Structure 1
Amino acid sequence: MTRSKLRLAIVGAGPAGIYAADILLKSERNFDVSIDLFDHLPAPYGLVRYGVAPDHPRIKGIITALRDVLDRGDIRIFGNVRFGEDITLEDLKRHYNAVIFATGAVQDASLRIPGIELEGSYGAADFVSWYDGHPDYPREWPLEAQSVAVIGNGNVALDVSRILAKHADDLLPTEIPANVYEGLKSSPVTDVHVFGRRGPTSVKFTPLELRELGELNDVDMIVYDEDFDYDDAARAAVAGNKQVFVIDKVLNQWRQRETGQASRRLHLHFFAKPLEVVDDGTGRVGAFRYERTKSDGEGGVVGTGEIREVPVQAVYRAIGYFGSELPGIPFDHDYGVIPNHEGQVLRHDAETGESGRMYGVYATGWIKRGPVGLIGHTKSDAMETIRHLINDVGNWWSPASPDEQSVVDLLDERGVRYTDLAGWHRLDQHELALGAAEGRTRIKVVPRDEMVDISLGQLTA
């Protein structure tokens, strides 16, 4: 029996895409595999490179595992290739048997309250992309506020709050880009207020993230005694969940600290439901208005009718990420995902009312399940999708031109300045050398053209 061969395209070279490729290559199957990873960015690793705060080296250790997978040499990478522009779904059908979309979720989820569109109101994801040196974002960020509101009680809210409150010089040991350091260095911020609608025992951030806040140099942690009048449900959560127990312990330690000496303050406000971003009269953010909530005794909250207002000049919403629609691929606009059953993409024809499988098309990661879960979830997610891909051999596409060189020829004909694994190694070494020259681990190259020039060996002194 002749062994068949699977030519697979994966769109997205972050953890979800790389794990999917690795799992397929290591899986039990009766066919050969050839995998090409495409990404719109010149460098791999997705949100691990562009969504994790620069002062989180422990989390960035994930990159080591991803690098080991890519450096085996059995997966090709095509960076700086935009799906829908440089390469289309029809192109993929011509050259591959199937495609997995692993494009993640990089937009901010919307918060529908009055004033959210005012000048000085931002999405956390955009701010994260700026301080992580994403090449498609402006080099400058307006850091003009003395008092800032951050809406959300997840890890991204804490990342944003920490970067805003932290003194820029304390970020110098990290890979923070020069333009970001200069921006943060000139920030006049004195107070960062974090607002969550539930109580301290219902937060979504992890103990590690919380502890890091308390270690900031010259920043007072301010918590409010009124938020710690626990009911039975809150006390049960502390007693029954180790993570909640640790979070409660950290917050209560902060309640005992002396404050008033630091030049900056980071305030945690619980039981605060967002109502409005208040206009200062000139179209800019002037205050954040919220309703005080209380526990409903069952782990939720209800409004108390008490309205409060905190003067701020900027607001960051950190209430979650949202996926982006891809050309020619079904999309659920309510949930920001590709409709799928266990990673098998589903289509619906609005004209005929017919629904069913979109054969040859799969999804994994956040674009499959929504922006929830950690790296462990991403691995199990990819395993589920790969299992279906292997079992769907009868439904694969039959490409007219499946040889590996044909895709290279296609991109060359279209003048796409794509980067490959050797190019990533060049860029990686260049960034490490920039860092070494200043006694730092790495300094990221930010402009896209410069990243590509370095990757292609075309940088001129």
Structure 2
Amino acid sequence: MLHVAVVGSGPSGVYAAQSLVQQDLVPRVRVDVLDRLPCPYGLVRYGVAPDHEKIKSLQNNLRTVLEHERVRFLGSVEIGPGALPPARLLDLYHAVVYCVGAAADRRLGVPGEDLPGSHSATEFVSWYSAHPDVLTDGFEQDGFVRGVESAVVIGVGNVAVDVARILVRGVAELLPTDMPDAALGVLAGSRVREVHMVGRRGPSQARFTTKELRELGALPDTEVVVDPAELALDPAYADPSGLPAASRRNIEVLRGWAERPPRGLPRRIRLRFFLRPVALTAGAAGRVAGARFERTLPDGRGGVSGSGQYEDIPAQLVLRSVGYRGVPLDGLPFDPERGTVPHAAGRVLRDGAPSPGEYVAGWIKRGPTGVIGTNRPCAKETVQSLLDDAPDLVRRGVPEDPLAGLRAAGVRPVEWPGWLAIERAEAELGRSLGRGVVKIPDWAGLRRAAQGQ
């Protein structure tokens, strides 16, 4: 039996496990999927917006893999400093595939970025998705209910679209979701009436998908406002025929909104382009009061240059959504420029040479690019490298059951029955609140639920 550990239970990790066990091989492969959290599914559970039920249903597909007879889920297993080092993990398994994602947010690097009222979009998403690392009442303490009428979202990708949509959603539309009750209560008291979603380049270079973009135009009591003069700055706007199909569709949607007369609805989402953030400004109370942008212009080479003209947008909340970045995992090599682990077709490289038994897949391998489905071919490439190496890997002696070795190292994993107990507890919590399933938002609650308490 070839014993493989997959570190990370999001899509890339589960797709790697699936590719391993669906092979008709001798020796056969057994996979332990390890995760720092007691809950599986990674960003499908903690990154997909709660009102995107169809995408969240991908959990059912991932679940099928994790219930395979030769796959075992082991939650609450942390790899790294003060926990289980990669070298020790490799003593227990013939191979280890790291699918740890890109956990850090990119920063704007502008004055005022750390003012109260300025957050990363990931913090906001983690809060309304009940990630246990985030305090459930953090945004309420930050004055979200009391003073925010205008918000700025910096970025024009799908995450930016998600947070803009959640900011203007009505409580009746969020009530059927699995959003934690504390976050639902805060958003129910929201006074946000205007959201500015701002990109430094033009509409033809925006990263959102057309389906996500169109959802903004279907929100009740909300109109989308687009300045046709900003769209016209984009050289591809007048003739988008040379663009990829997705970008052409985006421009068609934006053109329709730009041509629509104002409807005077209670809430507005303003899509802005060719504006580069240069500072966040503070009000009298020392909190964010607005964002200053420099007007940019296309430079003819796919980028933009500053024009020397500036615009201030008043806002009491600023959310940056300008990308993610991988973080070093102690014990693994790391490329600080790319924010990834150096690799060749998924094989981890140490000093330029493949490290026997160590592999990567997902964002820590290729960087934070693509959609959920992009992880499948990425994982398959890595698994093929591992299988090519299997005849040599299987010769190395490892414990017959790595779980005993994990426990000997002080690890007390949450196994699949513990996760099912968390699911039951979240269903019961929802029933007690007169809702559907409601996620448990804190570490202590998850641990108690996993133990059936």
**Common topology (TM > 0.5):** yes
**Worse-superposed segment, 445-454 or 315-324:** 445-454
For 1:186, the equivalent position in structure 2 comes to 189
Does residue 254 (structure 1) correspond to residue 257 (structure 2)? The answer is yes
Distance in structure 2 (CA, Å) of the matches to 1:233 and 1:364: 35
Q: Give the number of aligned pairs.
A: 446
> Of residues 378, 383, 391 in structure 2, which corresponds to 1:386?
383
Pick aligned residue for 1:151 from 133, 149, 154: 154
The aligned residue for residue 164 of structure 2 is 161
Deviation larger for 188-197 or 89-98: 89-98
The CA deviation at 1:438 is 5.3
Aligned to 1:307: 310
State the Cα RMSD in Å.
2.2
In structure 2, the residue matched to 1:271 is 274
Tell whether the 8 Å contact from 1:93 to 1:397 is kept in structure 2 after alignment: no
Please state if 1:93 is matched with 2:90. yes
Structure 2 contact 226–272 (Cα < 8 Å) conserved: yes
User: For each residue in 1:212-243, what CA deviation from the matched residue of structure 2 results, as whole angstroms up to 9, or x when unmatched?
Assistant: 11111222212112113266533333565432
**Residue 450, structure 1, aligned to residue 453, structure 2:** no
Within 5 Å, give how 1:312-323 maps onto structure 2.
312-323=315-326
Q: How does 1:61-72 map to 2 (within 5 A)?
A: 61-72=57-68
Find the counterpart in structure 1 of residue 229 from structure 2.
226
Identity, in percent, stands at 39
Matches of 1:375 and 1:369, distance apart in 2 = 13
Question: Who is 1:31 aligned against?
Answer: 27
What is the DSSP-based 3-state SS (H/G/I as helix, E as strand, rest coil) of the residue aligned with 1:20?
A: helix
CA distance change for structure 1 residues 163 and 412 in 2, over 3 Å: closer, same or farther?
A: farther
Deviations 1:341-371 (A, max 9, x none): 11111123xxxxxx42222111000111111
1:21 matched to 2:24? The reply is: no
Residue 287 of structure 2 aligns with an amino acid whose one-letter code is R
- DSSP 3-state at the match of 2:239: helix
CA deviation vs aligned residue, 1:112-144 (integer Å, no higher than 9, x gap): 222212222111111111110001111111214
Structure-2 separation of matches of 1:209 and 1:298:
28
Maintained 8 Å contact 2:232/2:238: no
Q: Distance in 2 between matches of 1:115 and 1:238?
A: 40
For 2:45, the equivalent position in structure 1 comes to 49
Q: 2:5 aligns to what?
A: 9
**Structure 1 residue 427, shift from structure 2 partner:** 1.8
Q: Give distance in 1, aligned partners of 2:379 and 2:418.
A: 27
The answer (yes or no) to whether the contact 2:120–2:320 under 8 Å persists in 1 is yes
Superposition deviation, residue 411 in structure 1: 2.1
Contact 2:159–2:321 (Cα < 8 Å) also in 1:
yes
Q: Which has the larger displacement, 385-394 or 242-251? A: 242-251
Bigger mean CA offset, 6-15 vs 260-269: 260-269
User: Matches of 2:117 and 2:235 in 1, distance apart?
Assistant: 40
Deviation at 1:68, TM superposition (A): 1.3
Aligned to 1:347: 350
Q: Which digits, 9 at most, give the CA deviation of each residue in 1:231-277, with x for residues without a partner?
A: 65333335654322322222222234443533322111111111111
What amino acid does structure 2 have at the position aligned with 1:66?
L
Of 431-440 and 42-51, more deviation after overlay is shown by 431-440
Contact 1:417-1:452 at 8 Å conserved across structures:
no
1:407 to 399, 403, 407: 403
Q: CA deviation at 1:375?
A: 2.3
Are 2:204 and 2:243, in contact at CA under 8 Å, matched by a contact in 1?
no
Q: How does 1:164-179 map to 2 (within 5 A)?
A: 164-179=167-182
Q: Which letter does structure 1 place at the counterpart of 2:15? A: Y
Residue 390 and residue 400 in structure 1: after superposition, are their counterparts in 2 closer, same or farther (change >3 A)?
A: closer
C-alpha separation in 2, matches of 1:296 and 1:166: 37
Contact 1:14/1:47, CA 8 A, preserved across alignment: yes
Secondary structure of 2:214's partner?
helix
Q: How far apart, in 1, do the equivalents of 2:284 and 2:241 lie?
A: 44
Distance in 2, matches of 1:204 and 1:423, equals 38
Q: For the residues of structure 2 that align with 1:422 and 1:77, how far apart are their CA atoms? A: 10
Q: How does 1:111-122 map to 2 (within 5 A)?
A: 111-122=108-119
Cα pair distance change 1:233/1:254, threshold 3 Å: closer
Match of 1:82 among 78, 81, 98: 78
Instruction: Identify the match of residue 293 of structure 1 among 257, 281, 296.
Output: 296
- Cα deviation, residue 377, structure 1: 1.6
Distance in 2 (CA, whole Å) between partners of 1:202 and 1:410 is: 47
- Deviation string, structure 1 residues 260-308 (Cα, Å, up to 9, x no partner): 5333221111111111112335543222111112334454333322111
Q: Does 1:60 align with 2:56?
A: yes
SS of equivalent residue, structure 2 residue 426:
helix
> Any idea what SS the aligned residue of 2:28 has?
strand
Q: 1:240 to 1:227 in 2, by over 3 A?
A: same
Letter of the 1:152 counterpart: G
Q: Measure how far apart 1:102 and its partner are.
A: 0.5
Counterparts of 1:413 and 1:275, CA distance in 2 = 49
Q: Which amino acid aligns with 1:54?
A: P
Answer whether contact 1:272 1:293 (CA < 8 A) is retained: yes
Q: TM-score, normalised by structure 2?
A: 0.92
User: Paired residue for 1:352?
Assistant: none
User: 1:63-121 CA deviation, whole Å, 9 max, x = no partner?
Assistant: 11101111223211110111124422233132111111001112211222222122221
